[in-house]
Amino acid sequence: MLSIKHMFYFFKLSGVATMKFNTNLIETGRVQGSWFSGSRKGIAHNIVLICLIFVFNCFGVRTVYYWSHIQFERVIDVVLYAYTTVIAILILIVYCFRQKQAIAIANKLQILREFTMSINGQLNQGEQLVVSSLKRISVAHLVIWFALIMSTSTEMYMLVYSIATYPCILIINCTIVQYSVVLKYLRQLYVILNANFFNCSKQFSANTSSVRTNSLSDLRELYMSLCNLSADVSEFYHLLMLLCLSYLFVTLLLWCYYIVAPIFVKATVLPILYGYVRSLIIVIHHVLMLVILTQSVSALTRENKKTGEIINKGISNLGNQRVLNELNMFSNYLLHKDMKFTVYGLFELNESILMTFAGSITTYLVIILQFHSRD
């Protein structure tokens, strides 16, 4: 639980968790009650962040514009600078206005966690797996952030650019990591429920007792609640992921330009070696964010689909009509419950988006290079 507290307060410091974490419930050993509640201080913290980012970046964009050496790349720097700032501010605003929805989701997740713990003691082990995964993600990001800071140029405009944009990038980074962590916890709950469904399917026989039937009903209700929570999570992050993915696309496109520009264009604003090193670090960082997000979504979706396979297998091996009717109703529910994590239904957040990004970035990169060569 200590790791969860540290993670929450880091998110809160970054502006992506405006609610209050009631640690007294955990310290006293109470499992009942709401772990998260509203906080005006959290909203005030975000307002302060918004003001600081806006004021400092207004000064920073002027510095970047006047210190950039080449007109074309000056435009690229200013566009990326302004776009990153706007995205970060919009994310902070969204978290302010949607605090109630975030609190409801967090408390529902805590309640489902407690119910799942009551039916299977393996949850503690599952949490350790999630925490271990979170630690690996944190270490990877720390290494990249360290390399990014160390590769920062000492030129005035680059220092101003970096100091102003790093907090904005961190806010976007934390939003994606937060979504990935929530998805990992949801997946772990699905894993435990699927394990219980599998055990029930093996135990049911022609002489099934009413206790076992009630147990199956409880699992079904818990699973349906988890599906509803997953839908709420997807809906909450619609706008946030639209902002983050648009930022990732623009950033990857423009920094890939800095990687290939020295090959096709003689003049470039950055020294070749420095430009390659820094650009590669930034591209790797943003690709890592995208990969972590898509893998988390794909893993959760695959685990959700396993439930239907387990139930259908149980139906085929079952002879008890009473339990068979129960499973048939649940199977019908699963047939019509297609869980997807999308961005307003425009596209799914799965690993296929990696190929979409790669193809689109390649196309636009060719257009930018052609436009630059004619300039």
Distances (CA, A) of 220 to 51, 88, 193, 303, 346: 48, 40, 9, 16, 30
**Mean pLDDT, rounded, of the chain:** 82
218 backbone dihedrals φ, ψ, rounded to 5°: -65, -40
pLDDT, tens digit, 9 for 90 and up, residues 283-292: 999 999 999 9
Q: What is the mean pLDDT of residues 106-129?
A: 74
Query: Per mean pLDDT, which range of 124-138, 221-235, 326-340, 361-375 is the poorest?
Result: 124-138
Residue 28 reports pLDDT greater than 60: no
Q: What is the CA radius of gyration of the chain?
A: 24
Please give the residue that has the higher pLDDT: either 137 or 325. 137
Local confidence band at 85 (pLDDT 50, 70, 90 cut-offs): very high
Please give the residue that has the higher pLDDT: either 314 or 28. 314
304 backbone dihedrals φ, ψ, rounded to 5°: -65, -40
Q: Give the pair of three-digit tokens for residue 245.
A: 């993915």
Q: Taking Cα atoms as reference points, which of 102, 79, 75, 101 lies closest to residue 17?
A: 102
Residue 279 reports pLDDT greater than 70: yes
Q: What is the mean pLDDT of residues 123-142?
A: 75
Please give the residue that has the higher pLDDT: either 4 or 169. 169
pLDDT, tens digit, 9 for 90 and up, residues 43-55: 999 999 999 999 8
Q: What is the mean pLDDT of residues 135-142?
A: 86
Q: Domains of the chain: which residue ranges?
A: 1-25+32-203+211-373
Local confidence band at 265 (pLDDT 50, 70, 90 cut-offs): low
Residue 15 reports pLDDT greater than 90: yes
Q: What is the mean pLDDT of residues 318-327?
A: 69
Amino acid 4: pLDDT: 75
Amino acid 139: pLDDT: 87
- Which residues lie closer than 8 Å to 51 by C-beta, 6 or more apart? none
Q: What is the mean pLDDT of residues 30-47?
A: 82
Amino acid 161: pLDDT: 75
Spatial separation of the C-alpha atoms in residues 70 and 257, rounded to whole Å: 14
Please give the residue that has the higher pLDDT: either 297 or 141. 297
Local confidence band at 103 (pLDDT 50, 70, 90 cut-offs): very high
Q: What is the mean pLDDT of residues 185-208?
A: 77
**Can you state the percent helix, strand and coil of the chain, rounding each to 5?**
80, 0, 15
Q: Which residues pair with 20 in a beta bridge?
A: 37
Tokens 């049911």 map to which residue?
204
